[in-house]
A and B are shown apart, each in its own frame.
Chain A
């Protein structure tokens, strides 16, 4: 009996050890498998822009000329109803439903990039039940190649200061442009950021960043910030005076303006990380700058908030690129805005 007891203990312990190591190795194998699966999925995500399905909760009119989802109202304009693929309610329903599922997923995608969304009434002053209007055309403004996003606002005078309320956001697409994912991502970036009244070059740079680096479009690319720098007649960076694709001046330079603006925006993101822009918008939001500004944001204001987000002064960076900007404090900005608003009321 005395001999058997130690044997029992040894064999029992050995079995416990075997079970223990078996469990450990299984866990490790599972972990390796999990890591490989994740790696494979990430590899795939690098190759393709894919999105999870969303729950759009689509409401449809009987003629399917107007469909509504959680964040959008989709409208088929008169001219598109004459096209073969959109001339019956069934066809519009099929395309409209699919399109809204896509746009709802894209909304979540862009929301993740910026960290805010138009449906947030605190940030946007977007009136309740307002949705982004998407209007599909055959031709828009006589063109099949120009998509435009506009934000309408109303200014109210409250407690001695001007407050902006967003009354509508509308995206107009010729159907040829709407069928291109990078274009939709570009325009949705405008729909999200228009409220901040950003300088044109920066607003377009941000939209191209989303289009190229998140939606993998290839219409635009980076240029060298120093070698490809172009100056206007005052010796200032030509991108700074750009007024957008409708601008009469700088027409031949439009493509360069897109690429150059994108290159600056991308360079800053690369230097300061993926949270750089969400932080930048959060800082503007904290000061309610966009609600107080009477017009487009001055470049010096912009550089102040970019510097705050970066944690270092970016005036030298912009001056090196021949931007005309001045170093301002937060107080300078708020006083200037107050003065600008006073000038308007007088």
Chain B
């Protein structure tokens, strides 16, 4: 075999390998369409499965973060439990590149944080929402995050004030707390999106239209 043939063969083989390696990049550049909702993947789990059942009629609830202050005295532990925030947690069967989180809630969530987990199970806060007034919260992450776990920690809902009125009594300069002071969020759906890849069949066409409409609105302003 001539050297020229060997070089040609090597060149062809390299092209094949590079082609395969660049598949992900090709998929990425194929289009900026939203993927299907990853929370609906087979094997996805949540701390309340009603938030990932694909049905806006079923309303789930965030769960209070359990106090881990078992060593503290009773009073401190009780107070920490009363003021504990609540969370919605979604675990995917495999890590996905997440770029957008959509939360449909029945009671308005005014303040929340979005956290993602790394491969060691450590959580990192990636977004804060501070003054929301809508039932649908559409959060775009500033970077695409490859993760299998996303949680929303609820800081404030419209129901907090009523709950505080019920559970906190004031008088003679004292404050008596008899129960939770932060209400649970009532979440109908917790949706997670990335960008559609070439191999993925379920590109969410409606979401793309949604985006286009949003863009049109912005341009017309």
Contacts and interface: CB of A to CB of B under 8 A. Distances in A.
B93 A41 contact: yes
Contact of A40 (B17, B43, B66, B117): B117
B70 A221 contact: yes
B63 interface: yes
Given A37-B119, A41-B93, A98-B61, 17 more contacts: A4-B1, A11-B1, A37-B148, A40-B117, A40-B120, A41-B91, A43-B121, A45-B45, A46-B121, A50-B46, A53-B52, A54-B49, A94-B188, A98-B60, A99-B50, A101-B58, A101-B60
Interface in A84-109: 93-95, 97-99, 101-102, 105
B61 A50 contact: no
Most buried by A among B48, B68, B70, B148: B48
Interface string A225-243: 0000000000000000000
A36 interface: yes
Nearest to A176: B179
B6 interface: yes
A181 interface: yes
A294 B59 CA distance: 43
Interface of B: 1, 6, 9, 13, 17, 43-50, 52-53, 55, 57-61, 63-64, 66-68, 70, 89, 91, 93-95, 106, 117-121, 148-149, 179, 184, 186, 188
Contact of A94 (B58, B64, B179): B58
A49 interface: yes
Nearest to A58: B58
Contacts of A22: 17
Contacts of A52: 43-45, 49
Contacts of A179: 61, 184
Contact of A102 (B44, B49, B64): B49
Nearest to A37: B94
Contacts of B1: 4, 7-8, 11
Contact of A43 (B13, B63, B95, B120): B120
B148 A41 contact: yes
26 contacts: A7-B1, A37-B94, A37-B148, A39-B119, A40-B95, A40-B118, A40-B120, A41-B91, A41-B148, A44-B148, A45-B91, A50-B45, A50-B46, A51-B49, A52-B43, A53-B44, A94-B58, A94-B186, A97-B57, A98-B48, A98-B59, A98-B60, A99-B50, A101-B60, A179-B61, A181-B47
Nearest to B122: A43
Contacts of B91: 41, 44-45, 48, 50
B57 A181 contact: no
A102 B120 CA distance: 28
Contact of A218 (B43, B67, B95, B148): B67
A218 B72 CA distance: 13
Contacts of B186: 94-95, 98
Interface string A20-57: 00100000000000001101110111111111111000
A118 interface: no
Given A8-B1, A105-B49, A221-B70, A93 B121 contact: no
A149 B118 CA distance: 41
